[in-house]
Structure 1
């Protein structure tokens, strides 16, 4: 009898967690779709955690700023970083020497660190310099958990579908801190509410 109650509690709790995460994915206004060479990755953005960062990401997406931007730093077993709209556009303005140092024309953002969410596989976080209030346009997708990042970098979303495609992104040279030669790119990025 107690085992049955425990199993029922687990199902209820698991169901609530799943429903909570699914609620973000079901909101087209806060769903970002990244087209990679192998298909689409769907990211549930988290304005509940980082409203200013999510607003800025959506603004950049709607400007087309992320289209053709390189995954310039990719460390196997850690994360894939992209989003340098100033130096990372592989169709115009790409600079192998400067990519990773730029942002956008929009202002840097004050940190919106979460004390409850953790950096797990599929979490999307904002890249920044040593200044906690320096995130702008660059973000990264986690391949694996990274507890040292918890509460230190702003979490803006979670990959809902397509993580197996993120796993295929070309990896960088570990000896060069993940710098990628001839990197993969985000071919197109859109907000689901905007249609195709």
Structure 2
């Protein structure tokens, strides 16, 4: 019982302080995978970047996925197929499909892989990893820069609750909001694919993670937008530093609306 209780508290610390998800760098994980590093992209920076943008404007200007799509990642020579859910997470899934079609994920590194003390996540998608000379230990702060605007693209936190017709935007609905077990439509089951972000709700950009175990304590705080439907055995073998050799939309590309 002590071990289980300690692990849950440990993971909660990872979520609150450094699941860091958009701004986490991996520098400290070499000595302790469970010790989150500092967030180099501060919450203040993210909030100041998005504060002048209303949720309506953000939602209208971002790509959306209307329906389902599938993406195939090649990692270590083997395929991982992800089914994306544009019905319940249209903006988050649409952002991912759009970035795949732009070639953003080709060659990028899984810079944060936590398997001990128990399986947690495999995280990648920092565009800085495109440079093979960029140290993996410094990855975790980057995001997609829109070539047309020269600005970093941020997407709103998008969480749909059971029974609701539309997702809720711009606010955490789980433990970060002091709630537990929110009835989310897309759960952090093993194989779930979700967006990484810093503590600011609308700070997700291109970084994503794959759940290596059921992580229900993340429900409501991070936006799940798909799941691995083939190749979970490949995901389980991912190590920090492994690259996405290629990413391609194999079904449902026509459902992406710009």
Shift in alpha-carbon separation, 1:140–1:151, aligned structure 2, 3 A: same
2:211 corresponds, among 142, 150, 156, to 142
Q: Distance in 1 between matches of 2:157 and 2:202?
A: 5
Corresponding residue of 2:191? 122
1:96 Cα deviation after fit: 2.9
1:60 Cα deviation after fit: 1.0
Q: What is the TM-score normalised by the length of structure 2?
A: 0.57
Task: Kindly indicate whether residue 112 of structure 2 is the aligned counterpart of residue 73 of structure 1.
Answer: yes
Q: Distance in 2 between matches of 1:35 and 1:51?
A: 24
For structure 1, the 5+ residue unaligned runs are: 1-26, 171-179
Corresponding residue of 1:169? 238
Corresponding residue of 2:45? none
- Cα pair 1:38 1:165 within 8 Å, conserved: no
Corresponding residue of 1:24? none
Task: Kindly indicate whether residue 247 of structure 2 is the aligned counterpart of residue 185 of structure 1.
Answer: no
Q: Distance in 1 between matches of 2:226 and 2:131?
A: 25
Matched ranges for 1:22-171 at <5 A: 30-76=69-115, 77-85=119-127, 87-91=128-132, 94-106=134-146, 107-114=153-160, 115-170=184-239
Aligned length: 154
For structure 2, the 5+ residue unaligned runs are: 1-66, 147-152, 161-183, 254-258
RMSD between aligned residues: 1.7
Of stretches 39-48 and 93-102 in structure 1, the one that deviates more from structure 2 is: 93-102
- Cα pair 1:88 1:100 within 8 Å, conserved: no
Q: What is the TM-score normalised by the length of structure 1?
A: 0.74
1:126 Cα deviation after fit: 0.3
Q: Distance in 2 between matches of 1:159 and 1:71?
A: 16
